[in-house]
Homo-oligomer: A and B are copies of this chain.
Amino acid sequence: MKRITIYDVAKEADVSLATVSRVINGSEVVREDTRVKVQEAIEKLGYKPNAIAQGLALQKTTTIALIVPEASFFYTGQIINGLIDVAKIYKYNIVLHTATEGIIEMNDIIETIIKSRVDGVVIFNDKLSKNELNTLTRYQVPIVVIGNKMSDDTIGSVYVDYSKLVYDFTTKYLNKGITDIALVEDRKNPAMIKQLFDGISRAFADAGKSFDNYIEIPKDYRSSYLFLQEYFKSHKHELVITYRDSQAMAVLNTAAENNIRIPEDMEVVCILDSKYNAMARPQISGFKIPDYDLGAVAMRVMTKMLHDEDEVIDKEIELSYIYSPRKSTK
C-alpha cells in the first residue's frame, strides 16, 4: 500500500500543502470551513501526520541546509516560511546559509555544508552555476533547487515556468496589436531575467517579429530611479514589464513625473507580485507566485528523496501562478 502523504491530503482537500501544514500545526489563521475540509480529507485517507513524523524522528537528527540569497526580498521570506513549516512536521532542522555575491563565497558555503555533514541541501539562488552544483552532487548529498528547472535527474527542482508566463502574457498583447513592449532589468537576477527574455523573444518570434526593447537599469533603486527619470523624457512604451515591485514603482513614479499616464499612455506589469503592488497608486498588476508553496513543496521533495518513499519520485515539480490585473493595465 502506498503511504499516504501530506501531498495526498492537499490534493484530496483541494487546498495547498501550506494549508494542510497549518491545519496540522493547529494554526489559527486557517478559515473554519477550510480546516473542516482538510480534517475530512485526513480522516478519509487515514493520514497520520504524527506517526510518520515520529517514525522519522527515531532514525537520526536530520539536518537540511538551506541556502538563500542575502537580499531580503519578501519573496525569500515566504519561501523560508513554507520550507520550515514542512520541516517542522517531519522533525527536520534547517541550518540557514546566506549567499551574497561571488563564486568564492559560494564555494565556502558549499565546503561548510559538506563538512557539517548535513543530510540534504535546498538551494534558492539565482546565481548558482552548474559547476557549483557539481561540487555538491560529487559528495552525493541530496539536492533540491528552488526556482530553476534542473535538467539533472539526481537533483530535485520546484519552480514556476516564468518563460511560459511571459510568453503567454506577451502573446496576448501582440494579438491585440500591441507591439511596443519593453522589459526592465537590473542584472540582479540573471537566470530569472534570462527566462523572461526567452519568453518574450519567443512570443515575438512566433508573431514574426523580433524583440529588442531591453531596458538595462542600474542595480540600486536610487540610481535606477534617476536613470528612468531621464529615460522617460524621450521614451514611452505601450507595455513595460518589470521583474520586482520596486522596479515597477520606479517606472510608475518616473512616468508620472514625465506626464505619462498609467495605464492610458503606458501599461505596467510586475512579474513578482507583492503586497506593495496593491498599495501603489495606481495599483500595479502582477502575477501571484506561490512563494510559500515553493518552499513547502521543495522540503517535501527533499523528505521523499531522503526516504525513498515512493518507487518513482517526481523530482521536477512545476507550480502555477495567478494573474492579478489591477489599475496599471487596461
Asked if B74 and A72 sit within 8 Å, CB to CB, the answer is yes
Asked if B278 and A221 sit within 8 Å, CB to CB, the answer is yes
Residue of B nearest to A276 (CB): B276
A189 to chain B, nearest CB (A): 16
What chain B residues lie within 8 Å of A102 (beta carbons)?
Answer: 26-28
Asked if A100 and B27 sit within 8 Å, CB to CB, the answer is yes
What chain B residues lie within 8 Å of A76 (beta carbons)?
Answer: 72, 77
A141 to chain B, nearest CB (A): 16
SS class, residues of chain A in contact with chain B: mixed
B91, B104, B276, B279: which contacts A26 (Cβ < 8 A)? B104
Stretch at the interface among A8-16, A40-48, A245-253, A259-267: A245-253
Question: Considering the chains assembled together, what is the distance between the CA atoms of A279 and B80 in angstroms?
Answer: 26
Counting every copy of the chain, the complex holds 2
Contact with B along A49-89 (1 / 0, CB 8 A): 00000000000010100100011111011101100110000
Asked if B72 and A80 sit within 8 Å, CB to CB, the answer is yes
Most chain B CB inside 10 Å of its own CB: which residue of A116, A276, A280 = A276
Asked if B105 and A25 sit within 8 Å, CB to CB, the answer is yes
A207 lies within 8 A of chain B by Cβ = no
From residue 302 to 329 of chain A, which have CB atoms closer than 8 A to chain B?
none
From residue 112 to 140 of chain A, which have CB atoms closer than 8 A to chain B?
112, 116
- Interface residues in chain A, defined as those with a beta carbon under 8 Å from any beta carbon in chain B: 25-29, 61, 63, 66, 70-74, 76-78, 80-81, 84-85, 91, 93-98, 100-102, 104-105, 112, 116, 221, 246, 249-250, 253, 256, 275-276, 278-281
20 contacts between A and B (CB under 8 A): A26-B104, A27-B105, A28-B101, A29-B100, A29-B101, A72-B74, A72-B76, A72-B78, A73-B77, A74-B74, A85-B98, A93-B116, A221-B279, A246-B276, A250-B279, A253-B281, A256-B281, A276-B279, A279-B280, A281-B281
